[in-house]
Structure 1
Amino acid sequence: MSITVRQLCNDTYNFVSKEIKTIFFISIISTFISVLINILIKPDMHIISIIENNKFINSHTLFDFINNMNEYEKKKLLKYSIFKILEFLISKTFLLGSTITLITYLSKNKKKPIIFSMTFFIKLLPSLFILNFIINMIVQVGFAFFILPGIFLSILLSLSPIILCFEKNTLINTIRISIFTVWNNINIIGPGVLFFMCIKFFLTKIFMNMHLINKNFITLILNININIFFSILTIYLFRFYMLFKNT
């Protein structure tokens, strides 16, 4: 049986339409985790102002941006970057883990008790966090040099979290399987990941240009919307791997 994008889109749509309330709730919780981390660990406003002003906009690459900073700003930027990476990893791990647990639970027709899903979720989180960290580092290296390698790496590694919950492999093997599987099915995986990236880009552009509304509120709504679309992408990829395993 061949797997088609149309088939995956229909399956994803049917699942999302039935579980949209749960997906929305998970997305909100994930967003509030990011907000809570921001409240507990206040970022340096001086560095944020540097990133948001013309120093960053006028830099052709990340290296140009860093070279234009003094030693004090570089140290502050390093601390800020570590903080933002941790915030991103924690919220993304929760979002991914929750969505994968939801799909796994429902795909078993609820034959197993809810406590089984909670146990599965808790056991999945540590490995998923480390995997997300590795993937994020690899992808960021790609984006640091040129945009296209970063996009290509994002596509190749996109199946890794899904494979992690299916296969009993090491993290390195999980990444290797993801690269091999996506490479052979790039025409199916690629459009889904690229669609999410485009949606994220346009949503960010639209919401960030709304100057009449409170910036914190805009950021909150933006993150919820991005999390919802990321959950939909996860469902799309999960459904693909289910069909791929069966074939």
Structure 2
Amino acid sequence: MSITANSLSRDSVNFIRNQLSSFIMLALLTSFIMVALLHALAPDLSELQALVSNAVGGVTPMSRSELRAIVAAMPKEQQIAIAEATIPLVTATAGSFLISNLLLTAGVITLVQQVSNQQATSAIRALGASVHILPKLLILFIISTFVILIGLSFYFLPGIFLTYALVLSPAILISSQKGIIDSITISWKIALANIKIILPAFLFAISVEFLLYALTIEMAMRSSIVVSILLVGAGNLITAYFLVYLFRFYMLVKQ
């Protein structure tokens, strides 16, 4: 049986449509967790606002390019002070995103497994059944993030390449009970050997998710928390589609 990107995409869309309520619940629940954690962990930004306000000499609205130019022209000591003030915010954002994505990934793949095994399931049942795999998945996420950051430190494209090469590792880890290193190695081999099938879905997913998260950041200060939850939830649905796509593909490759 030949595997094509179009057939896998249709299969994944139909699968999600048949379990739409569970996928929407997973997407919104993990979105709520992310936004709630971010609001709970985010530090008081008054110090950062004061530093920036003093640097620009007031609170006159300006574009991002103008703000970047002003920051670039600051003395090194002032730039370091602003960078240090942003570390808690960056840490809170990264931590909330990691936990949310961890739960979403485990929940979606477990949900697909339960449906494939003809078990009664729901978003809550899938999350509950995935608890035992969360520690190993967390270690995998940390290793993958470290490797991807190394790639991004050299240039943008190496980081994207490493993200692509590791993209199957969560599905392999959860579905096959492989070790972390084995999952990474197998993902690397399969992803590079099936670029025509995996790459189109990968590029679609990361492009749409990037746009949605950028829109979320842009509207975070102007809109209610509900809008942020809905926008992140929409991005989570795209992630869920991609995870279903990868899981179904891996199951076909294994046969």
TM-score by structure 1 length? 0.83
1:135 to 2:135 alignment: no
**Secondary structure in structure 2 of the residue aligned to 1:110:** coil
1:203 to 2:212 alignment: yes
Question: CA separation in 2, counterparts of 1:236 and 1:195?
Answer: 12
Provide closer, same or farther for how the CA distance between residues 207 and 77 of structure 1 changes in structure 2, counting only shifts above 3 A: closer
Asked whether the 8 Å contact 2:212–2:232 carries over to 1, the reply is no
1:110 to 2:119 alignment: yes
Residue 81 of structure 1 corresponds to which residue in structure 2? 90
Asked whether the 8 Å contact 2:216–2:232 carries over to 1, the reply is no
Residue 72 of structure 2 corresponds to which residue in structure 1? none
Question: CA separation in 2, counterparts of 1:82 and 1:53?
Answer: 25
Question: CA separation in 2, counterparts of 1:191 and 1:24?
Answer: 24
User: Within 5 Å, which residues of 2 pair with 1:206-225?
Assistant: 214=223, 216-225=225-234
Which amino acid counterpart does residue 181 of structure 2 have in structure 1? I
Percent same amino acid among aligned pairs?
A: 29
User: Within 5 Å, which residues of 2 pair with 1:16-55?
Assistant: 16-45=16-45, 46-47=47-48, 54=64
Question: CA separation in 1, counterparts of 2:118 and 2:77?
Answer: 56
Deviates more, 1:176-185 or 1:196-205: 196-205
Which amino acid counterpart does residue 124 of structure 1 have in structure 2? I
Asked whether the 8 Å contact 2:35–2:228 carries over to 1, the reply is no
Which amino acid counterpart does residue 86 of structure 2 have in structure 1? L
Question: CA separation in 1, counterparts of 2:188 and 2:230?
Answer: 33
Residue 70 of structure 1 corresponds to which residue in structure 2? 79
Count of aligned pairs = 240
Question: CA separation in 2, counterparts of 1:31 and 1:211?
Answer: 14
Shift of 1:130: 1.4
Shift of 1:53: 7.1
Shift of 1:131: 1.0
Provide closer, same or farther for how the CA distance between residues 135 and 44 of structure 1 changes in structure 2, counting only shifts above 3 A: farther
Question: CA separation in 2, counterparts of 1:17 and 1:143?
Answer: 36
Which amino acid counterpart does residue 13 of structure 1 have in structure 2? V
Shift of 1:29: 0.6
Asked whether the 8 Å contact 1:208–1:218 carries over to 2, the reply is no
Shift of 1:207: 5.8
Residue 169 of structure 2 corresponds to which residue in structure 1? 160
Unpaired runs of at least 5, structure 2: 53-61, 70-75
1:125 to 2:134 alignment: yes
Which amino acid counterpart does residue 219 of structure 1 have in structure 2? S
TM-score by structure 2 length? 0.80
Residue 103 of structure 2 corresponds to which residue in structure 1? 94
Question: CA separation in 2, counterparts of 1:209 and 1:116?
Answer: 34
